[in-house]
């Protein structure tokens, strides 16, 4: 008697490593290799050092008040390490000459795109500062990067390059410039104001940026910035901001990424603008307003908005009807009233109840 048995081959089970190539192993902690960088005598970055903390203030004018707060007895055991201040105009640069940073704090100066290396020629600081600027992939920003890198290296400062993985892709002018410059006196962070083409959470964007730096051969430090643009569910209360920051920073630190950390959601001026405009227009029913901090992430996110209020040049606002910009470079002091006038012009304005109007004017 012959018995015929049929055998069905067992399908092979792919290993996790074959699913997709990823430089990060979620099951094994490995710190990203980082070249040591000394921002100040007591403010070093390196593979054996914990992440340094950067604190943000709203403006150059707020430095004096911030200095008093940081000098308080409650913070004597946790002195400020880095202090980030936005610098939007040459007037801000001039004001910095007489501004005092808290003792021991390394200044981080976040430069508006309108400021050029030539504008910074008169910046002479007695201690190292970190210049912070966003960079796109194009040749104009690549040239600006080369100019700023030359400036900081000549004067003993540092440059924080805010960018994206896409801007550092092979073949872009920015990537080519960075290959030529090397890592000397550079560090990197995510430019979260640029919409992500893949729709990733900020964690994914930072991971992609770290992978792009690896492809470039860069071991420059990576700065995790918790901003309004990286929040999953923007909210003003402390616990919501803390949760968002914990998710982003915690996940990346567990990945072995991150040499500096900052939480910048509390004093974000874009959120102050949003609250102010909502106080003027919140009573309007069926009218959709898009309030954006900059032109980069403005029109693309206003697909279903009736009106848009978008930051343009420093201190200037552009107003949109749908996706069409109808008023350019309005002084910020006039922009709220001009927005209301624009809504009235298009027949979508109704007067608020007397009680709400009185509260908004109070």
Angle, CA 232 vertex, CA 79 and CA 261 arms, to 5°: 25
Q: Answer yes or no: do 228 and 157 share one domain.
A: yes
Region 70-75 average pLDDT: 63
Region 5-21 average pLDDT: 42
Is residue 14 in some structural domain?
Answer: no
Higher pLDDT, 269 or 89: 89
Domain end (from 218, 248, 263): 263
Reading the block at residue 221, the tokens are 């430090």
Q: Which of 208, 186, 224 is nearest to 50 (CA)?
A: 224
How, if at all, do strands 316-321 and 307-311 pair? Answer: antiparallel
Is residue 172 in some structural domain?
Answer: yes
Q: How far apart are CA 221 and CA 130, in angstroms?
A: 13
Model pLDDT, residue 358? 44
Model pLDDT, residue 263? 86
Model pLDDT, residue 18? 39
Angle, CA 204 vertex, CA 36 and CA 298 arms, to 5°: 105
Q: Answer yes or no: do 290 and 175 share one domain.
A: no
Model pLDDT, residue 72? 64
Q: Answer yes or no: do 297 and 157 share one domain.
A: no
Q: Answer yes or no: do 128 and 277 share one domain.
A: no
Region 287-296 average pLDDT: 71
Q: Answer yes or no: do 165 and 218 share one domain.
A: yes
Total domains in the fold of the chain: 2
Q: Which long-range contacts (CB under 8 A, 24 or more apart) does 228-237 make?
A: 228/264, 228/265, 228/268, 228/270, 228/271, 228/293, 229/192, 229/193, 229/202, 229/293, 229/297, 230/190, 230/192, 230/202, 231/265, 232/201, 234/265, 234/271, 236/271
Work out the percent of the chain whose per-residue pLDDT is above 70: 81
Q: Answer yes or no: do 280 and 239 share one domain.
A: no
Region 283-287 average pLDDT: 88
Indicate whether 59 pLDDT > 60.
yes
Indicate whether 98 pLDDT > 90.
no
Region 71-83 average pLDDT: 71
Q: Which of the listed ranges 210-224, 299-313, 324-338 does the model predict with the highest average pLDDT?
A: 210-224
Region 206-210 average pLDDT: 97
On whether the CB atoms of residues 183 and 35 are closer than 8 A, the answer is yes
Reading the block at residue 68, the tokens are 């008093």
Model pLDDT, residue 294? 54
Is residue 16 in some structural domain?
Answer: no
Is residue 354 in some structural domain?
Answer: no
Is residue 17 in some structural domain?
Answer: no
Domain interval for residue 337: 270-344
Region 134-147 average pLDDT: 95
On whether the CB atoms of residues 230 and 218 are closer than 8 A, the answer is no
On whether the CB atoms of residues 257 and 212 are closer than 8 A, the answer is no
Region 290-294 average pLDDT: 70
Is residue 9 in some structural domain?
Answer: no
Reading the block at residue 341, the tokens are 């006038």
126: exposed, middle or buried (C-beta count within 10 Å: 0-12, 13-18, 19+)? exposed
| Rounded (10°) angle between helices 173-181 and 202-216 | 60
Q: Answer yes or no: do 161 and 198 share one domain.
A: yes
Domain end (from 263, 280, 300): 263
Model pLDDT, residue 355? 45
Region 178-200 average pLDDT: 94
Q: Answer yes or no: do 56 and 200 share one domain.
A: yes
Report DSSP letters for 267-324, one per residue.
Answer: T-HHHHHHHHHHHHHTT-SS--EEEESSGGGSGGG-TT-SEEEEE-STTEEEEEETTE
Integer-rounded Cα radius of gyration of the chain:
24
Per-residue pLDDT tens digits for 343-362? 999 999 999 876 444 444 44
Q: Answer yes or no: do 159 and 247 share one domain.
A: yes
Is residue 362 in some structural domain?
Answer: no
Q: Answer yes or no: do 106 and 130 share one domain.
A: yes
Find the range with the poorest average confidence among 75-84, 217-226, 296-305: 296-305
Indicate whether 301 pLDDT > 90.
no
Q: How many other CB atoms are there within 10 angstroms of residue 88's CB atom?
A: 19
In angstroms, the Cα distances linking 315 to 200, 230, 301, 333, 344 are: 30, 23, 21, 8, 24
Is residue 10 in some structural domain?
Answer: no
Model pLDDT, residue 110? 95
| Domain CATH number, residue 331 | 3.30.413.10
Q: How far apart are CA 54 and CA 263, in angstroms?
A: 8
311 DSSP β-pair partners: 317
Angle, CA 60 vertex, CA 59 and CA 61 arms, to 5°: 90
Sequence length of the chain is: 362
Q: Answer yes or no: do 250 and 274 share one domain.
A: no
Domain end (from 236, 263, 290): 263
Model pLDDT, residue 327? 92
Q: Answer yes or no: do 234 and 292 share one domain.
A: no
The band of 43, judged by pLDDT with boundaries at 50, 70 and 90, is confident
| Domain CATH number, residue 191 | 3.20.20.20
């Amino acid at each position: 008697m012959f018995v015929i048995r049929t055998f069905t081959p067992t399908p092979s089970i792919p290993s996790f490593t074959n699913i997709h190539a990823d430089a990060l192993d979620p099951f094994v902690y490995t710190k990203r290799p980082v070249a040591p960088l000394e921002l100040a005598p007591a403010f070093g970055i390196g593979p054996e050092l914990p992440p340094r903390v950067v604190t943000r203030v709203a403006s150059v004018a707020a430095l004096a008040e911030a200095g008093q707060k940081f000098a308080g007895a409650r913070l004597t055991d946790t002195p400020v390490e880095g202090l980030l201040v936005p610098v939007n105009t040459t007037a801000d640069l001039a004001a910095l000459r007489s501004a005092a940073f808290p003792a021991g704090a390394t200044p981080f100066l976040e430069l508006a795109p309108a400021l050029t290396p030539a504008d910074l020629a008169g910046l002479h600081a007695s201690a190292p500062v970190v210049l912070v600027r966003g960079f796109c992939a194009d040749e104009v920003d690549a040239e600006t990067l080369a100019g700023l890198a030359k400036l900081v290296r000549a004067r003993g400062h540092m440059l924080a390059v805010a960018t994206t993985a896409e801007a550092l892709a092979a073949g872009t002018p920015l990537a080519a410039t960075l290959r030529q410059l090397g890592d000397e006196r550079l560090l990197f962070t995510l430019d979260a104001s640029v919409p992500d083409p893949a729709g990733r959470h900020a964690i994914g964007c930072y991971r992609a940026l770290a992978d792009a730096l690896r492809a470039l051969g860069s071991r420059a430090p990576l700065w995790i910035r918790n901003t309004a643009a990286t929040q999953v569910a923007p909210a003003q209360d402390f616990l919501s901001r803390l949760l968002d920051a914990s998710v982003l920073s915690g996940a990346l630190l567990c990945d072995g990424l991150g040499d500096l950390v900052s939480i910048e959601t509390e004093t974000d001026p874009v959120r102050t603008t949003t609250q102010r405009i909502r106080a003027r227009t919140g009573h309007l029913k069926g009218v959709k307003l898009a309030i954006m901090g900059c032109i980069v992430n403005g029109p693309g996110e206003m697909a279903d908005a009736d009106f848009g209020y978008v930051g343009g040049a420093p201190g200037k606002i552009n107003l949109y009807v749908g996706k069409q910009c109808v008023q350019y470079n309005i002084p910020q002091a006039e922009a709220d009233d001009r927005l209301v006038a624009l809504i009235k012009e298009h027949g979508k304005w109704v007067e608020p109840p007397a009680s709400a109007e009185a509260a908004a004017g109070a």
